[in-house]
Amino acid sequence: MSNILISNDDGIFALGVRTLANTLAQAGHQVTVVCPDRERSATGHGLTLHHPIRAEEVNSVFDSNVVAWSCSGTPADCVKFALSAVMDTRPDFVFSGINHGPNLGTDVLYSGTVSAAMEGVLEGIPSVAFSLASFSAEEFQPAADFALKLLQKLSDVENDSYPKPPLLSVNVPPVETSEVKGVVVTRQGLRRYIEKFAKRFDPRGKSYYWLEGEIIEDIEQPKDINLPPHILTDVQAIRDRFITITPLQYNLTDGAIVKHLYDQDLFKE
């Protein structure tokens, strides 16, 4: 059985994390949950540096075998706090989610769910971010059941067989398990939004602004020269009701632009 740390960005009382943690605990795994004390969606990889972090144990909501903590910090704070102050032994895996809503394409740049998992990988721990690709669906059990299956598959593979600890972003379509087309490894796609700041007024007549936006189209991203051309984007595959597994990395260096700048010798004195 595995020792698993779970976090999220929807908060300690979110249905997604409760379903994930209880499913894994009931299967016999050792589960520790450390989550924000409130929703912290779209916080990216932010850290709390200018005021104290407060945390307390949560003795309700979860299965009795789950050790759970509520933390005032961001998702990345939660994972750091868990690894340094809560867990006596290093976890085998860091899981994040199950997020209420998709994390597809460029969404991962803003996602607190993905950032919690990324914090695990920064510490050299294989990590997975799970998302239910709908903001309205409330049935998280199919995603939790898949997380249990994926955990078994990851556990069957020796960690030293990976070139580096994997960071996986998993999106599950909001359909019954029988309607899922399958599981595919995907590449990161691209999503585009119409965004605007709506100007509003509070009861005292002072103005404030609210960010509004909606997806207008999914844009096909150019094929990655390092990947086979048949590999779909996560955006494409989730539309076709596949569970998507997108390996990510925190190194954002653009190799093509590095090579271009060297070849053009633009900064030669």
pLDDT tens sequence across 202-252: 999 999 888 777 776 565 665 666 788 789 999 999 999 999 999 999 998
What phi, psi does 262 have (nearest 5°)? -65, -45
3-7 and 93-100 strand pairing: parallel
pLDDT tens sequence across 24-43: 999 999 999 999 999 999 89
Here the tokens at position 67 are: 């050790």
Residue of 7, 151, 168 lying closest to 83 (CA atoms): 7
In this structure, what DSSP letter does residue 156 have?
Answer: T
Q: Model's pTM, two decimal places?
A: 0.91
The better pLDDT of the pair 130, 254 is held by 130
Q: 98: cis peptide before it, omega within 30°?
A: yes
CB-based contact 180:173 (threshold 8 Å)? yes
What phi, psi does 145 have (nearest 5°)? -65, -40
Q: Is the pLDDT of residue 166 over 90?
A: yes
Domain boundaries, the chain: 3-187+223-257, 190-219
Q: Is the pLDDT of residue 158 over 70?
A: no
The better pLDDT of the pair 214, 59 is held by 59
Res 221: pLDDT: 61
Domain covering 3-187+223-257, topology: Stationary-phase Survival Protein Sure Homolog; Chain: A, (3.40.1210)
Res 219: pLDDT: 59
